[in-house]
Structure 1
């Protein structure tokens, strides 16, 4: 057994106790809402994490890349929803995954793509299972709920090379709310958009068995998911400062951090310089639009205790600058060269993306395991 003081920095730490608590909390939440949990693997990218998220069940997962789909199929998970609109050039990879045993669902958001998917499915002798993406909040992508455009997309899935498996949405605007009441309103709108779209398609003669939605904020604060079949959530496993700023979790629930070493000090302020810049922490500044700006992350001591009013105030590629929120002077003797610090991330997905593995740590700083993460597209 090694200690975190034996690890090279920067590296990614994962507190197993907090991870398990986050998983249990969301499992209970989804169960209370009466829907199926389809955890999103985009942050974890690790079978060790997803096995725990799925628990004793054999349910499906959500992925954001076909590389993730390949990785999890290699580890025995077959029920996979690829929740990014399919690029035509990726259909060959999707077909290969299906021939290897994946129950793969893909996503389309236009009649043009749906026609390509149907044509390529017929050519390959396969029937692609396709969800249609619904734009429930004008946030990013998808077709308007219960619209002529939606019906055109569904009609283009010809039933031979591709079939309509359901509708899907992600209320990304929930990440920009000012309070939990607003998140609850968005959650209600998210549900209404996909349920109404499914009913619209059924009335037009289409089978629409699955109604899929989710984000960690909306599932946390939804009061009613009637008509919905599954919830897709991912960052809940780890939580982060954006989630804490939204009221989704407490700072103490954040299971992920970056371990860094002090390598020097600013001459003008005494501010510690760490060996974790934006390559290790990410450039994500999601909290800058919230009531409390957390810079590039909250600073903790080596065992994870938050250092009051200390954040990473600036980041270069491989250098991070630790500072006080008020910009005041720091006594460098309190932060000697070689001292280890942990940084809590603004956005767990972006921070984790830089790292090859989670170093699983206990409350006493022992390193219990190293869990590899898959990377790439």
Structure 2
């Protein structure tokens, strides 16, 4: 029994991450965003029932189908007991000439359509862009308030209030998830792109204390981005560039960690562990992204990622620096500035790189001090000083371990 219990306790969190937001999206397609909390409660109750049932009766043959069946039954029970269908949903459906009882269909197509509609509904211009993205990260991607606060570099309490205001606005607007016009798709697509970009970045550079990479989040971002290609109005050059970026970056995930889960720096990675299938897929989407005149930040970042997947090209870092020079103009961020400085040092040498880095004055940034530690490799005491500063500024245990290894190496330990 203990082994069975361990199995379901490991399986449920994985299923929750994969299926909870899908379940909520389909339910909201029927209830509307005004009843978002109801949809979330029903989805949560399905997983709660699984916790109790699977502990005593074991894991069903098809756990995912079991969860969706329970959610469907709970949704129907809710409509029956609370009389929402007769009092609220039915008049609205009649107004739209849809009078049939809602069929909570959890097929793959229905889930994909609902998630596509859901993310565009959540990215409502009634809310500020930052609130749209935070809300989409929470509702569609299942992010906690803490994780979202890391993504925005904002206090958790600030994010909590932002989400409360945004949810209130959505309820008042009562936008119907099933009703997406071409105008809505066009105006909200940039916020959707940003949401998926942040989701992928959270996986690629996890803010969690115990994980430096969360491949599950990277995979989820890529999956959701691919859903955008199913609609001709969202299958844009920027969408394809974003997918290319995800493919290139994902191709190197396995090489970024050793067998002990320790981070491996780019220059030390075993290139034979790069996923060539994903690189080829990235090439395909990048070529398609460059067929028009559009140049987005995702085109530039995909170009940078492309050059990172190339091997033994003498002009590699010159191309990367050139792309960073363009990117920093249209989309500045401290991370972009630091990455550009690294590329600058690869082209012009560490001394010139140090001069560029010191101009940034990012004294409270752990990556800033890690970069200076790397660039001061010929001045051991100064390098150790900056690595120690980086060590004190990061909350990531894997990152601390990597930095400490560099300090030990410099100290000859």
TM-score by length of 2: 0.27
Higher strand content, 1 or 2: 1
Higher-Rg structure is: 2
TM-score by length of 1: 0.28
Higher helix content, 1 or 2: 2
Q: Which protein, 1 or 2, shows the higher relative CO under an 8 Å CA cutoff with sep ≥ 6?
A: 1
